[in-house]
Every structure is written in structure tokens, then in C-alpha cells.
Amino acid sequence: MKPRIGWIGTGVMGRSMAANLLKAGCELTVFTRTKEKAAPLFDLGALWAESPARAAAASDVVFLTVGYPADVRETVLGRLGVLAGFRQEAGRAAPPTVVDMTTSSPALAAEIYAAARAQGADALDAPVSGGDIGAREGTLSIMVGGDENVFRRIVPLFEALGSKVVYQGKAGMGQHAKMVNQILIAGNMAGMCEALLYARRAGLDMDKVMSSVAAGAAGSWSLSNLAPRILRGDFEPGFFVEHFIKDMKIALEEAARMELRLPALDLVRRLYERLAAQGGGRLGTQALIKALDGLRKDDPL
């Protein structure tokens, strides 16, 4: 018998992820701040809850993918949060489990884990990589922190969402792994956008040069999936600029705590903040090329 699933957050990625669980035959209860955004899920058979607590009371496992650590805290630990909902229903066959798939703070993940365990529940932090394409196609990479026995119990659900599911270690380690992912993406995105600008100024045929470099050592997910969007002027979000800025800030804060300096990441963060200040916060991360294209050689960074 499949567990009853709660799903909180139906943004760019969350709606597709929830739909994949429904298509896998799961019973799903959904809460999101804007009910209309969940309409496609209702068409697939999802039920509606009035709060995270209501969704949790009707579920054995609750997934969430929201915006910021403050949203995670309120959704899980708030008065009408997931853990409050878990307390409302007794007699479960197994401990209820909250799975945070938001990219958030490792320290907050550890705090949620401790709060869940204190009331007899389980918690995993399980951020993902793969963007809107991976969410839609169920090919996300999922990085999981928490107790390994809980991870193994939830693996069949993760497999409906992603093609690569890896247990990273104790609570918070999933979020640390995601910070590694975001540091890599930040440098790669800046390099890709600068390369596209160089190619255009040099007068190269953009399709030809992209075909050449993508087949060599410079190939990457971003080059294959986001460069074509840039070339056709598509800056719709697979992942919001403002959320990427949040992620880079978390990574820099964690690095500082570990007495580690990441100057390249700090530079890319400032470039993205320039883009956000120009009104690009709700664009996709590939829109970084707009901020770079507007730079003059004497502009401070």
C-alpha cells in the first residue's frame, strides 16, 4: 500500500514534481499559497488542504518545495505547519516524515530534524538539481540528508521524481551537497554567458560554434540546455534569479563559517544582484547574459 502524500509548493518545479507522484499512483493532498496554481494537479486527482498542517494530518509523508529558508521554517515549524499537523493524527503505522526539497540552510535542516525527532516524526532534507526540465521529466538529481533507514523507506517515492538519488549523510548534508552543486553552476553559468558574448562579438556563427564546443571538454548541462534558450531570447525561468541569489548567499555564509573564501562565487553573486536590481529577479538564471552584456570595461564589479 502506497503512503498518503502531502505536497506543499507548486512553483516552477514543484507542480511538475507533484504531478509525477500522482502519475505514479500516489494519493496526494496539496497546499499552496495560490490555490489556482495547483489546478492541473486537481485535474489529476489531487485533493486540497487549507494549510500545511491540514495537508500533514492527511498524509504519511509530506514533501515541500518553497522559496526561502523563512518559508521552510514557517511551513514546517509554524503554528499551522507540518509538524503541528503530524501531532493531530495518532495511531500511524510508521512515523510520519517531512521531506524538504527546497534549497535551504543546512543548519535549518538540522533544526527541523531535531524538532521532528522530538515528537516522534522523521525528517529528510532532499534538495534537487535539474531545473524545470528535470522536474517535468522526472530526471532530477536528489541529494538527501537525514537518517539512512528513513532515506531507504522514502527511496521509492524519490524514484518517481529523479533518476539519481544519493544519500549524503546526516541531517543537513543534503543541503551541503546542493551548495556544492550551486557553486559549480555559478561559475559555469558566468563562463557560458561570457563565452556566448565573445562568440557573438567575434562574428562567429552561434549554432556552429556551440555545436563544436558542446562536443568537447567545455560541454555542460547549462551549455546544452540553457545556451539554446539564450540564443532564441528565451529568459523564462527554469529557476528564478532571485532564488539563485539566495542559494549563493547560503553557500557563502556556510563557507565563511568553515573559514573558507570563495571569491569566484562572490563575484557571480554580485553580477546576479546587478541583474536583479535591473528588474531581472524573476527571470531564469540564463538571463545573467543581460547583466554581462551591459557591462562596460570600466564598470566596477
Backbone angles phi, psi at 260, to 5 degrees: -120, 135
Q: Which residues contact 225 (CB under 8 A, 6 or more apart)?
A: 131, 133, 238
- Residue in the structure block whose three cell numbers are 509548493: 9
Q: Which of 23, 37, 178, 290 is catalytic?
A: 178
At 210, list the grid cell: 556551440
Quote the strand ranges of the chain, DSSP E.
Answer: 5-8, 28-31, 47-48, 61-64, 97-100, 122-125, 128-129, 140-145, 162-169
Annotation marks residue 178 as catalytic:
yes
Q: Which residues contact 136 (CB under 8 A, 6 or more apart)?
A: 16
CB-count exposure of residue 37 (10 Å: 0-12, 13-18, 19+): middle
User: CA torsion sign, 52 to 56 to 57 to 58?
Assistant: positive
- Residue in the structure block whose three cell numbers are 529568459: 235
At 274, list the grid cell: 546587478
Q: What is the dihedral of CA 206, 212, 216, 218, to 10 degrees?
A: -10
Kindly list the catalytic residues: 178
